Amino acid sequence: MSTALRTLRITRHFAASPERVFDAWLDPATAGRWLFATPKGEMVKVDIDARVGGRFCFRDRRDGVDVDHVGEYLEIDRPRRLVFSFAVPRYSEATTRVSIDMVPAGSGCDLTLLHEQVLAEWADATQHGWGEILAHLARHLEQASG
């Protein structure tokens, strides 16, 4: 197993205010619809303690197998920045760090997600996964506003 670590950067424009995009990450009813949800999975648990030092757990049931996505909030600066530790214990013992920065851009905002300390063998899948997650968020925000 490789021990090489990567830092992934993903940017995306949203046609929603930084406040709406930021809040979507921390509201359990909203986040459970798009964050770590998979097309073939069923989100069976969403626990969010949205405070610095608070933890989160998203449990996605995939083909009868539960996959937990867990972490701790390290920084919460609404609506500009959200930082959390992140792990998927079923697949790796590694704990990584995710930083999300939002800046106003026109009538919406630009989001930059930085995922640090990703094991090299997980880099491509992780990059793809975040791309899908942010696409789900964009669709959710469009549906919620229209």
* pLDDT at residue 77 is higher than 90: yes
pLDDT digit string (tens) for 98-119? 999 999 999 999 999 999 999 9
Domains of the chain: which residue ranges? 5-145
Determine if the pTM surpasses 0.75.
yes
Domain 5-145 has CATH 3.40.190.10: no
Q: In the beta sheet, which residues pair with residue 57?
A: 47, 70
- Least confident span in 48-52, 71-75, 139-143: 139-143
- Whole-number Å distance between alpha carbons of 62 and 42: 7
pLDDT in tens, 117-136: 999 999 999 999 999 999 99
Interval 4-57: pLDDT, tens:
899 999 999 999 999 999 999 999 989 999 999 887 889 999 999 999 999 999
Residue 139 CA to residue 14 CA, distance in Å, equals: 10
Got the DSSP string for 43-94? EEEEEE--STT-EEEEEEEETTEEEEEEEEEEEEETTTEEEEEEB-TTT-S-
Phi then psi dihedrals of residue 2, to 5 deg? -75, 145
Cis peptide before 79 (omega within 30 of 0): yes
Instruction: Please give the pLDDT value at position 56.
Output: 98
At 74 the pLDDT is 98
Residue that the structure tokens 């083909």 belong to = 63
Q: Is the pLDDT of residue 1 over 60?
A: no
